[in-house]
Structure 1
Amino acid sequence: MISFKLQLDVTLSNFGGAILAKKSKIEKAKRIEQTIARYADKRAEMIKNHDYVGLSTLPRDASPTRRHNRDELDGRPHAYMRKFQLSRLNFRELAHKGQIPGVRKASW
């Protein structure tokens, strides 16, 4: 699957004042990302050596399965589109405005 980061110049003022996810949830997701990155090499080494007891001593948030995809703009956790890193709602709004390159409305 092709994945890329959109470099969008979108602020909430020109986005219609979207409702954001709770700041605490967004901060928790960032903290989990940092923990995963911090322990990635150590986890890989333990898995390679089949050290499952050692894996259980690592922090719970060091496991990549604890990560939950969130919309880049407002932090929405549901209806996430991996390719664009947006929720369906934000994707639709930006696509209609023509701010996502290569995306246009289907007609047949």
Structure 2
Amino acid sequence: MAKTSMVNRDIKRTKIVKKYATKRAELKATVLSPNSSYEEKMEAQTKLQKLPRDASPVRQRNRCVLSGRSRGVYRKFGLGRNKLREATMRGDVPGLRKASW
């Protein structure tokens, strides 16, 4: 089980990313637009830098939904490798079963 503080920090980051998503998208579009002037680009860049660091989606971490584990998480299922194995053994994951040959 992961530290609850780390899980809570990730939840907080997710909320902040959602809150600033449209503002970030507009500013990044301005910066990348070939039609905008140099001054507009620089102004948009400084506004982008003044946003909170956690507003960037890159700072989010994939975590297991059940245990909060940060490593070995399968995106498709949203579970860590240990919990995915347990769920597969119970038959909770449709279309997935233990390999045997």
Q: Displacement of 1:75 after TM fit? A: 0.3
| Alpha-carbon separation, structure 1, partners of 2:56 and 2:9 | 14
The one-letter code of the counterpart of 2:89 is: H
| Alpha-carbon separation, structure 1, partners of 2:98 and 2:62 | 25
- Greater C-alpha Rg: 2
Paired residues, number: 89
TM-score (norm 2): 0.85
Higher relative contact order (CA closer than 8 Å, sequence separation 6+): 1
Unmatched runs of 5 consecutive residues or more in structure 1: 1-19
1:83 matched to 2:73: no
| Alpha-carbon separation, structure 2, partners of 1:65 and 1:21 | 20
Unmatched runs of 5 consecutive residues or more in structure 2: 32-43
Q: Displacement of 1:107 after TM fit? A: 2.3
Q: Displacement of 1:54 after TM fit? A: 1.3
Q: Displacement of 1:44 after TM fit? A: 0.2
1:71 matched to 2:52: no
> Alignment identity in percent?
43
